[in-house]
Amino acid sequence: MHELGITKNIVAIVTEHAQGKKVNRVLLEIGQLSAIMPESVRFCFDVVSQGTVLASAKLEILETPGVGHCCECGAEFTLEQYVFRCNCGSSKIDVVAGEELKIKEIEVEEICV
């Protein structure tokens, strides 16, 4: 399960950017063609974040669909998987979206002095 390693890296990156402040929410964008299972990331996040500034943070995941662009006819269409062909019959397809793994937002608790 490579999601464990990925989630450890996400927690490390967010921890660094939080600069010691408690993290309330993390929004991830995960593309449907990325081969990353959102439910596995959720499970791993709960385990990996224990004992960190993310311990009680809410994890939100935005799943982005795969989108392909046909190099022959110019059509754009939804990709469900990596085995694809355009309606025109061409297999010359550029993946435009769906491979993402991004930390989109981090919400930290403000400390009032």
Residue 86 among known ligand-binding residues: yes
Q: Decide the pairing of beta strands 101-108 and 23-31.
A: antiparallel
Residue 71 among known ligand-binding residues: no
Q: How far is CA 4 from the centre of its chain?
A: 13
Using alpha carbons, select from 58, 68, 2, 49 the residue that is nearest to residue 28.
Answer: 58
Residue 112 among known ligand-binding residues: no
User: Which residues contribute to the annotated binding site?
Assistant: 2, 70, 73, 86, 88
User: Which residues contribute to the annotated binding site for Zn(2+)?
Assistant: 70, 73, 86, 88
User: Which residues contribute to the annotated binding site for Ni(2+)?
Assistant: 2
